[in-house]
Structure 1
Amino acid sequence: MDLPILHLKKHEERRLLSGHLWVFSNEADTALSPLNSFQPGDHALVMSARGKPMGVAYVNPASLILARLCDRDPKAVLGRDWLRARLTEALALRERFFDQPYYRLCHGEGDHLPGLVVDRYGATLCVQLLTAGMERLRQEVLDVLDELVRPDAVLLKGDVSARSVEGLPRVNETVLGVAPDTVEVPEGEGVYRASLEAGQKTGWFYDQRPNRLGLLPLCREASVLDVFSYVGALGVGAALAGASEAVCVDSSQAAVDRVLENARVNGVEPRVSALKGDAAEVMESLIQEGRRFDVVSLDPPALVKRKKDLEGAIGGYHKLNKLASRLVAPGGFLLTASCSQHMEAWQFTRVTGQAVSGRRKAQLVRRGGQGPDHPVHPAMPETDYLKSLLYRLTASQFREKD
């Protein structure tokens, strides 16, 4: 079946030729392919102004990202067989890196499957269909996942803002079996409980796993502060690694309760405490109390939701890192992270470096990013979103009254 053609303006194919997968609405030739001729989720053949086929995409004329290129083959059919091939590749990658079925099985554009996110928790899958194009393939996605991994339960997690942008309803739906409210996730020496439907994102932050595990050797016999702790993967993990004390901070009462539960489940309850409150306010209070920690982790949610918000968010990152650095004991470590895709790595390094080195002798000793189950598309910097920096802070040079 011949596909309708989405014509591009002159020279607007350059980014696609470099490997990028997105076509923005201002790049389309609306005289040759009026946008109102497409329905959300329609498949189309993307064509350059010179008549060269760029590949097959799905389209949403109501979105700033007009089209997402799915296959460079102009004869590709975006259906079950196509999904099976892509998801088989995605599964093979994870099975090379992980010996247990706990990982992000599909990471959207990073796996050349725009709009599809799948997190695997043993026999339970949490699936996000984030675009109209992937929503159109809903049944095929579910069928292929069932064929490849035979899950006992599948939760469609649709309560995310990305679906609103695509004109899709924000609802959660269990489409196979009985999706458990609580899943148990093994990581390092621990097993952690997290909520799928009520928890943040898809329930667990697999992307930070290598950065958390990489910090644990520094936590032995150390006092640890875990700010934006969520359910305590870092704080409880530190206690399991031999930390003398781990203090977790989160603004959510549900997260704080889960921290204490995870500490109890892992047998480290006496050495783990949790504080509920705004991160900056809690850190300011700890500073006033004269508290210092050998290791501090600072992992805030994305402070830059849109590119135009970047300048304002830089001040937020500076303030948080400045406060965190004041809580690090001389010779201690600060692990700081940003999951804001609109903040580039050099910007994050600059703002955090300025925040910590103005008052301390600082050394940047390690850079990190997302784990291998969150692969980066080499031509799409948008997929390289997670930045992690480990600083060592030596001599104290600040005045307490500041």
Structure 2
Amino acid sequence: MDHSPLRLKKQQERRLGAGHCWVYSNEVDAAATPLKGFEPGQPVDIISHQGKWLGSGYVNPHSLICARLVSRDRAHPLSGSLLVHRLKIALGLRQRLYPRPFYRLVFGESDGLPGLVVDRYGEVAVVQVTTAGMERMKGEIVQALEKVIRPRTVLFRNDTPVRETEGLERYVEMRGEPLGEWLEVEENSLSFRVPASEGQKTGWFFDQAGNRARLAPYVRGRRVLEVCSYVGAWGVTAATHGARVLSLDVSAPALRAVELNAQRNGVGDAVSTLRGDAFDALRELRAAGERYDVLMVDPPAFIKRRKDLKQGTLAYRRLNQLALQLLEREGVLITSSCSHHMSRDALLDVLQQAARHTGRQLQLLEQGHQAADHPVHPAIPETAYLKTFFLRVLPAF
């Protein structure tokens, strides 16, 4: 496959040299290699202003991140064989860490495959393609998966809004044996069902598995409120450790899945559900005089773009402030952010502000992050996104 050159401006190769793989449109020498001359997803050789070959990848002239470097080896550009090679390397890590095939198999840039996410549910591979360059490789992706893990079904969940920034259509597509309504997933010795085609993102949030494994001492015998429950991963886990749980979510189908998952794990009587907007429902619970020993808050990303930072930061503060007002004395708040634009220190500062505003004092007990099947690339800060804090909440002193 022929690769056209994509030349960078002077001194714009430093990020790539440090290990990152993104090229922004304002870093391209548009006089030498006009972006309008490329097609979305077209293979390119990325070269410095002085003509030094930096790597090969693909381009999208319509995206702010206009190119992604995939290979630093001239002999091995993006191809079906490179996909197989990278998948085998990714699989080696997961097989070393996980006794059963339920995990994120490919985490984009961190596994050397920018624009590609693959989650594994036993014999089912759920794939999300977010770039034009990877969309061109869709057939090769299926072939590589068949060679490396031999899935019974490959489900493309290409219905994420981020595809629109690449000029790509949104769709759901299935290859292989037909799927039913549910996907089966195992986590920490528990069994769950998640919606196959209608659920959030790729169905299950594997990134929180390690944090959920630490729940037991905090929730045993306690009254627990799970906020933004989705299908009840946190709440059902808490209930299996002896908690009495109320799961709150705005989605009726998600709450039906909570009830199903509670029954599957023998805790149907310990889990109840409440449908409503998180902010409104928390206010209503407070007005009704409800109080809980533990609140688990795992909202969607409030800050998806840098320009959302101010508004999103306010949303995190408001949500956690409402949560704090529902906690008993010496209660525990387990709260998360999956917004990579919000740093760990910034989130902790927001939580401290919320606590002071409600006359509370925080003790940070544990800090969690994304599970090892979402490895962080040290040169790509965007791959480190999940923050989870376990906090004891006391009267101010």
TM-score (norm 1): 0.96
Paired with 1:179 and 1:332, the residues of 2 have a C-alpha distance of 42
Paired with 1:217 and 1:100, the residues of 2 have a C-alpha distance of 25
Aligned length: 396
Residue 387 (1) aligns with residue 390 (2): no
Paired with 2:369 and 2:95, the residues of 1 have a C-alpha distance of 20
1:6-25 aligned at under 5 Å gives the runs 6-25=6-25
AA at the equivalent of 2:107: H
Match of 2:226 in 1: 226
1:111-150 aligned at under 5 Å gives the runs 111-150=111-150
1:48-197 aligned at under 5 Å gives the runs 48-197=48-197
Which stretch of the first structure deviates more once superposed, 373-382 or 211-220?
Answer: 211-220
Match of 1:296 in 2: 295
Paired with 1:372 and 1:180, the residues of 2 have a C-alpha distance of 29
Displacement of 1:363: 0.5
Paired with 1:263 and 1:184, the residues of 2 have a C-alpha distance of 14
Q: Deviations over 1:267-292 (max 9, x none)?
A: 21111100000111111111122222
Displacement of 1:2: 5.1
Paired with 1:84 and 1:60, the residues of 2 have a C-alpha distance of 24
Match of 1:44 in 2: 44
CA contact (8 A) 1:41 1:58 kept: yes
Query: After TM superposition, what 4+ stretches of structure 1 lie above 4 angstroms from structure 2?
Result: none
Match of 2:263 in 1: 264
Paired with 1:238 and 1:60, the residues of 2 have a C-alpha distance of 45
Residue 307 (1) aligns with residue 306 (2): yes
Paired with 1:348 and 1:10, the residues of 2 have a C-alpha distance of 36
Match of 1:400 in 2: none
Which stretch of the first structure deviates more once superposed, 354-363 or 307-316?
Answer: 354-363
SS at match of 2:66: strand
Which stretch of the first structure deviates more once superposed, 98-107 or 153-162?
Answer: 153-162
Which stretch of the first structure deviates more once superposed, 352-361 or 277-286?
Answer: 352-361
Paired with 1:357 and 1:18, the residues of 2 have a C-alpha distance of 41
AA at the equivalent of 2:321: K
Match of 1:347 in 2: 346
Which stretch of the first structure deviates more once superposed, 339-348 or 4-13?
Answer: 339-348
CA contact (8 A) 2:211 2:369 kept: yes
Displacement of 1:67: 0.4
Paired with 1:203 and 1:88, the residues of 2 have a C-alpha distance of 23
Q: Deviations over 1:247-300 (max 9, x none)?
A: 100000111111111112222111110000011111111112222211110011
Displacement of 1:116: 0.5
Match of 2:275 in 1: 276
Match of 1:370 in 2: 370
Paired with 2:12 and 2:381, the residues of 1 have a C-alpha distance of 18
Paired with 2:42 and 2:26, the residues of 1 have a C-alpha distance of 18
AA at the equivalent of 2:206: Y
Which stretch of the first structure deviates more once superposed, 342-351 or 224-233?
Answer: 342-351
Paired with 1:100 and 1:40, the residues of 2 have a C-alpha distance of 38
AA at the equivalent of 1:369: H
Displacement of 1:376: 1.0
Match of 1:331 in 2: 330
1:189–1:332 CA distance, 2 compared to 1 (3 A): farther
Paired with 2:205 and 2:238, the residues of 1 have a C-alpha distance of 17
Which runs of 5 or more structure 2 residues have no equivalent in the other structure? none
CA contact (8 A) 2:188 2:209 kept: no
Paired with 1:218 and 1:163, the residues of 2 have a C-alpha distance of 39
Which stretch of the first structure deviates more once superposed, 215-224 or 316-325?
Answer: 215-224
TM-score (norm 2): 0.97
SS at match of 2:73: coil
Which runs of 5 or more structure 1 residues have no equivalent in the other structure? 398-402
SS at match of 1:214: coil
CA contact (8 A) 2:368 2:389 kept: yes
